[in-house]
A = this chain, B = another copy of it.
């Protein structure tokens, strides 16, 4: 049976109130009592019962981060950044990955609305319908969205500029002289970042005085994280009679799948096909040829989102900008060339 505050108080010859003060506001306690209490704590190896503290204070010092999967480079970059901020503010992190499974996502949302489980929720790139997320927004714990936003909701969102990332890649290819560029936007069309990326793609064409070919925009009705789906989509593009001369992949992993497909078909990058990625993951530098991609400051977005969340938790009437947008940069490497 572990020691409780009562025991510490008895051993130190003080009341539990004093012990509690030593722990939470030591400036109210005399040096003498402080020392005696600390000694008693050490001697008895006393540990606070956090459930009791939470019940009394109504604070958990825990936040939940809801993510689609931990295996995506962008996502775990965000999780790490968020954890760093959390730890410096003495918060712990509950990780809830939905895996694109709506039932699982709803179960988590259900859980997170319970009392005194978490003080706040950080929602990263949800796949589920906005109505679900709204449930959380109307719960008791503050909510901040990251890498995502829901139109007409006054919950703060912190985003990287999904429009400009694909815009920059597409414009670069157009400037190289490509006209038949395909967009591998392998997510659901209603998914916010997918919508924005498509917008960036189309805008680049329009700004160049051209029109994109809708047949070259590939999206998935039922998105999964299985690479097989990706492969099928890529096969569809590469094996058609009038093959595109360039491919804008919606992230680096998809671009790498394109690399593999090209190798299998004897197509050379960039001579036969130009390819761009997005996110600047580690291996984008190592592949041959090094991948032209876009640097997105996801970690920065995560950090800021977490800081906003903590502000909302600790300050009842904190004012947070509804949308914060981080800019992105094109990183030119060697995977693009003028069309053959």
Contacts and interface: CB of A to CB of B under 8 A. Distances in A.
A185 B40 CA distance: 46
A94 B97 contact: no
Interface stretch (A149-157, A166-174, A282-290, A322-330): A282-290
A311 interface: no
Contacts of A50: 114-117
A97 B80 contact: yes
A114 B70 contact: no
A260 B285 contact: yes
Contacts of A76: 70-71, 76
* Identical chains in the assembly: 2
A333 interface: no
Interface string A92-106: 111111000000100
A115 B2 contact: yes
A97 to B, nearest CB: 6
Contacts of A111: 92
Interface of A: 2, 47-52, 54-55, 58, 60, 62, 69-71, 76-77, 79-80, 83, 87, 92-97, 104, 107, 111, 113-117, 140, 253, 256-257, 259-260, 263, 282-283, 285-288
